[in-house]
């Protein structure tokens, strides 16, 4: 599991079109690029800033990496496109979407873990997820009263609480880190 001294990025991830399938696909595709992901619980959240009947599944992910932000952004954009998001549509930000991956911030120093959520994003619905993942990675207590949503990748189930998923480089098998 990453530690509070790990460097990397926090991502906000969401989907409101086939969200269970697409969140699973997003995490699976990220694991093709990174051997380990730390995830908050997955929450069902009504759409904000758009007119839609489709609720989102949202999760915050920490990726420990030394890659440049531009390289990570290219990976995120590629995953969005693979899953059907039209990134050329000027109204894509206010439309239903199969995949939305946003780099929220870089984590470069230990004190970055103690930043308030509103200094990371103005997307207030991500605040409990940011608080949870930061508490998880700094081994601080955190009680999120919201029920998480189960997500499945093969035989792996996650989403009820913060967790770390490892990918075995030799076998490409995925597992929950203990």
Tokens of 152: 């499945």
Tokens of 30: 């990220």
Residues with catalytic annotation? 85, 97, 100, 102
Q: How big is the chain by its Cα radius of gyration, in Å?
A: 15
How far is residue 127's CA from residue 118's CA, in Å, rounded to a whole number? 7
How far is residue 129's CA from residue 62's CA, in Å, rounded to a whole number? 11
**Torsion (CA) 111, 114, 115, 121 in degrees, nearest 10:** 120
How far is residue 27's CA from residue 151's CA, in Å, rounded to a whole number? 10
How far is residue 177's CA from residue 167's CA, in Å, rounded to a whole number? 10
- 5 burial type by CB count under 10 A (0-12 exposed, 13-18 middle, 19+ buried): exposed
């Amino acid at each position: 599991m990453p530690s509070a001294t790990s460097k990397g990025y926090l991502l906000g991830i969401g989907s409101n079109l086939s969200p269970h399938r697409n969140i699973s696909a997003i995490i699976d595709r990220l694991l093709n690029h990174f051997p380990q992901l730390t995830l908050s619980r997955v929450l069902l959240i009504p759409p904000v800033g758009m007119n839609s009947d489709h609720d989102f599944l949202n999760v915050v992910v920490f990726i420990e990496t030394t890659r440049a932000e531009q390289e990570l952004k290219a990976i995120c954009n590629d995953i969005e496109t693979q899953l059907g998001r039209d990134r050329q549509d000027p109204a894509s930000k206010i439309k239903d979407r199969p995949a939305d991956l946003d780099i929220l911030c870089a984590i470069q120093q230990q004190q970055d873990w103690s930043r308030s959520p509103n200094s990371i994003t103005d997307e207030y619905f991500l605040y409990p997820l940011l608080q949870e993942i930061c508490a998880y990675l700094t081994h601080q207590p955190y009680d999120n009263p919201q029920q998480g949503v189960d997500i499945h990748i093969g035989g792996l189930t996650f989403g009820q609480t913060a967790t770390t998923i490892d990918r075995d480089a030799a076998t490409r098998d995925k597992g929950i880190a203990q």
